[in-house]
A = this chain, B = another copy of it.
């Protein structure tokens, strides 16, 4: 973890709302305190964990955003996801007790640290928590399958359209505008995520703009026509 981040105990943090949105009873809510959840702040480009780090906790993003990436010996790196408020990261580490990827902050914010062995213990007592944990892990698997489909069988502009629509939908879920948002990541990072070079990403943005589908002002995106953007994914654009 970054050296600068400061900690504070957080017995009544907005965890239940943000991180674990499940119907817990009042006494069950209290038991969440057993987790000894700590809230931590982080700054842009802080590492939340690195590949190879011993696994102790999952992290629920309170606010701010991360990218996760896997590294290859030869230096290649692949962005595997962009995570935002309310999402849980670190699931890959459960498998081997060691983090398989690294999480880098794209902007400053806060996380709740969820000690995993305590979470496991508690989820044996609270079935709805257990169920929720399973769903979160399964959702990650489904998300990954979607990325495989994207990387394995879509062309550049289809990938970018799918990416923008995914962001749009996630912003909407958070009560933010689904049509106007600010990208937290660079063209290079988008390219890594989508299996493209940054120039290709930039050209695809420009093309969407020329087609009147979106307006791009560097990182500020406005989607003019959501339907057209969706149509792009079906090859026709």
Contacts and interface: CB of A to CB of B under 8 A. Distances in A.
A6 interface: no
Given A138-B93, A152-B78, A100 B145 contact: yes
B195 A95 contact: no
A185 B20 CA distance: 41
A142 B76 contact: no
Interface string A135-165: 1011111101111110111000000000000
A127 B100 CA distance: 24
Interface string A99-140: 011000000000000000000100111010011011101111
A94 B135 contact: yes
A17 interface: no
Q: State how many copies of this chain the complex holds.
A: 2
**Residue among A131, A138, A142 facing the most chain B CB atoms (10 A cut-off):** A138
B145 A101 contact: yes
A216 B93 CA distance: 37
Contacts of A79: 152
Interface stretch (A66-74, A167-175, A203-211, A217-225): A66-74
Nearest to A131: B120
Given A127-B124, A137-B137, A148 B145 contact: no
A72 B153 contact: yes
A3 interface: no
B93 A146 contact: no
Given A72-B153, A78-B152, 11 more contacts: A78-B153, A93-B138, A94-B134, A95-B139, A101-B145, A134-B137, A137-B138, A140-B141, A144-B148, A151-B152, A152-B192
